Amino acid sequence: MIRGFRMEVALALLRVSLLTAMQYRASFMAEILVGGLSAFGVAAPLFLVYARVSELQGWTLDQALLVTGFFLLYNAFVAGLIEPNLGAIVDGVRSGALDYLLIRPVDAQLLLSVRRVAPVAIWELVAGLIVVAVSLGRLGEPSVAAVALAALLFGCGLAATYGLWLMVICTSFWFVRVDNLRFLLGAVSDAGRWPVSVYGRGIRIALTTVIPVALVSSYPAMALLGRLDFSLVGGAVATAVAMLVASRMVLMRALRSYSSASS
Amino acid sequence: MIQVRGLTKTYRVPVRPPGLGGALRSLFSREFREVKAVRDLSFSIQPGERVGFLGPNGAGKTTTLKMLSGLLYPTSGELSVAGHVPQSRAPAFLQQITLVMGQKQQLLWDLPARESFELNRAMYGVERAAFRSTLDELVAMLRAEALLDKPVRNLSLGERMKCELIAALVHRPQVLFLDEPTIGLDVEMQVQVRQFVAEHNRETGATVLLTSHYMQDIAALTPRLLIIDQGTLRYDGSLDELSRRVAPERRIVVQQVLPELAGLGFAVTEGRMVATVPAAEANALIQRLLTLAPLVEFGVEVPPLEEVIARVFAEGRA
């Protein structure tokens, strides 16, 4: 299904995007600094809340920190890969800059998805790993099965997130400017920083299926805490596969409608 | 190499009344208009041919080129390039073509051009050894040795176009679509680009389809011409044939002012004497001219290309 995928191409793209990011020293340093601050900003509200209560809907501070840790990892994925790449599609459609991408004998989806990397995301990645490790250190080591389940759910969540973003972005092939949809998606995803059980039933379902941000934050944390079993795996995999297949179909249809721009 | 039959492309364009009120109205009810950019276009191009694609702005040249390179889906009609249907965008097809757009750039703006070449090498899966020899060859032909390691944003327009051409050719494509490759370049750089395209075509036998606004590009590069206006093909043939058909007269220019020539129909223009006669009568007039003034220096001109093309458009629209 994915034609023309070659590891060599992915590596060459990665190299170029890192070289580009590092071309301007000041901007690179500033980005790294901002990334550090925003990683801190994700965890801060949690401490404010737990300064007043010791438990929130069955979650202690350490357990809720686990959710935050996964949310940071998810943010790193979105800020580092999804936003810069899929966001560039919107500009590319408007300016016709996709022309030179679409004539390459490489799968268009691959090119559109991995041609940029934002180094700023490194902080959220590091912060996420530290937060997960620290809270696990205080909560006790999870079983191998729990780690496998958490990783699987997290992976499915990332795949589903990517699919959802791609579908939303693809609407720009018809409507050209869809920046608002992007911001909406970002804002709603923010709900994932809190354990999903603090929300009402409707929102919980929405955060698991429509905008599957709970799949990348709360569920992996619940798996590590031993609150989930493998019965969820089927649903998570199905969600991920459905999102990936649907987004691929939408992209292929969208490319047919690409109208380029001027000469 | 290229077959086009009944090619048509229709765009659906939103129509918006002018002003703020119009913009507000169109937020709620949008009107669309269908624009036929290309209508029922048919032609075929043999391997190794160099063909010029000519037409005024908005004639449908770029749209056609983008359909031929698989970027745009045709609304109807049949297309075949190098044995493939372009819009399927099969890797085997994309390997064989290249597209250079004078108004857009594929080079990575912030990095030296060399990085763009290397990225293209990876994307087209070119072996390193073959890549190096192709690159050396292209760099030598374009005299671009000094340009490869400068960030692209520091190159002049002409230097950038040289690098654009290299980036477009590192995979040795069989079909070159060049959309106004000389636009904005100074005269010397235009000549260099023209020479390069001609030399590349001679050495690789690649097929070239070129659009340009500069008649000199067409005159120097493409023995065959396709003229398109309002999406419709107006002419397909050689430049000479076109001149004969559309501009059947010759201009006989005497390099000095001799009043006695007025009797033969010569008139004074800018310190020279010029007579315009039907091509068939040109020889007779020259005979009479030489009888009257045996030592006179003179030349025979066909009307300038711009004038000939303008007549084609005028005829088509009449």
Cα distance from A196 to chain B (closest Cα, Å)?
A: 37
pLDDT for position A176: 65
pLDDT for position B316: 63
Residues B35 and B99 in one domain: yes
Cα distance from A187 to chain B (closest Cα, Å)?
A: 25
CB atoms within 10 A of CB A131: 23
Which residue of A100, A117, A175, A252 to mutate against B (max B Cβ within 10 Å)? A100
Residues B111 and B126 in one domain: yes
Query: A96 vs B118: CB contact, 8 Å cut-off?
Result: no
pLDDT for position B205: 93
For chain B, 318 residues long, the average pLDDT of each consecutive 10-residue run is 93 78 74 87 94 87 93 93 93 94 89 94 93 94 92 92 94 94 87 90 93 83 90 88 76 86 86 86 88 86 75 67
Residue B62's closest chain A neighbor by CA?
Answer: A263
Cα distance between residue B263 and residue A26, in whole Å: 79
Q: What is the mean predicted confidence (pLDDT) over A237-259?
A: 90
Residues B32 and B168 in one domain: yes
Which domain does B10 fall in, by range? 2-243
Residues B202 and B261 in one domain: no
pLDDT for position A116: 84
User: And the tokens for A197?
Assistant: 């059980």
Nearest to B35 by CA among B221, B230, B203: B230
Query: B103 vs A263: CB contact, 8 Å cut-off?
Result: yes
Residues B18 and B138 in one domain: yes
Nearest-10 crossing angle of helices B128-142, B157-169: 150
- The answer to whether B67 touches B81, Cβ cutoff 8 Å, is no
The percent of residues in chain A predicted with pLDDT above 70, rounded, is 95
**B111 in contact with A at a CB cutoff of 8 Å?**
yes
Query: A12 vs B125: CB contact, 8 Å cut-off?
Result: no
User: Does any domain span residue B306?
Assistant: no
Residues B267 and B283 in one domain: yes
Residue B100's closest chain A neighbor by CA?
Answer: A100
Band of residue A1 on the pLDDT scale cut at 50, 70, 90: very low
- Three-class DSSP category at B300: strand
Dump strand ranges (E) for chain B.
Answer: 2-15, 31-45, 50-54, 76-81, 97-101, 175-179, 207-211, 224-229, 232-238, 249-254, 267-269, 272-278, 298-301
Residues B118 and B177 in one domain: yes
For residue A3, give the nearest of B71, B91, B99 by CB distance.
Answer: B91
pLDDT for position A2: 46
User: Does any domain span residue B315?
Assistant: no
- The answer to whether A246 touches A166, Cβ cutoff 8 Å, is no
pLDDT for position B163: 95
Cα-based angle B249, B255, B258 (whole degrees, multiple of 5) = 95
Cα distance from B27 to chain A (closest Cα, Å)?
A: 12
Residues B200 and B180 in one domain: yes
User: Does any domain span residue B316?
Assistant: no
Residues B162 and B199 in one domain: yes
What are the residues facing B301 on neighbouring strands? B251
User: Does any domain span residue B50?
Assistant: yes
What is the side-by-side order of every strand in the sheet holding B76-81? B31-45, B2-15, B76-81
User: Does any domain span residue B318?
Assistant: no
Cα distance between residue B47 and residue B67, in whole Å: 19
- The answer to whether A167 touches A155, Cβ cutoff 8 Å, is no
Helix intervals (H) in A24-60: 25-50
pLDDT for position A5: 58
Supply the DSSP symbol for A82: I
Q: Is residue B231 classed exposed, middle or buried when 0-12, 13-18 and 19+ CB atoms within 10 A define those classes?
A: buried
User: And the tokens for A122?
Assistant: 């490194």
Assess whether pLDDT exceeds 80 at residue A42: no
Cα distance between residue B1 and residue B175, in whole Å: 8
Lowest mean pLDDT among A55-59, A66-70, A178-182: A178-182
User: Does any domain span residue B294?
Assistant: yes
Residues B295 and B158 in one domain: no
CATH number at residue B74: 3.40.50.300
Residues B233 and B283 in one domain: no
Residues B126 and B177 in one domain: yes
User: Does any domain span residue B260?
Assistant: yes
Query: A100 vs B72: CB contact, 8 Å cut-off?
Result: no
Chain B residue numbers with beta carbons less than 8 Å from the beta carbon of A3 are 90-91
Cα distance from A252 to chain B (closest Cα, Å)?
A: 11
Give per-residue pLDDT as tens, B65-120.
999 999 999 999 999 999 999 999 999 999 999 999 988 889 998 899 999 999 99
Domain total of chain B:
2
Cα distance between residue B88 and residue B84, in whole Å: 8
Average pLDDT over all residues of chain A = 84
Residue B107's closest chain A neighbor by CA?
Answer: A100
User: Does any domain span residue B105?
Assistant: yes
Give per-residue pLDDT as tens, A141-181.
889 999 999 999 999 999 999 999 999 888 887 776 677 77
Give the helix/strand (H/E) hosting A18: helix A7-23
Selected residue with higher pLDDT from A91 and A178? A91
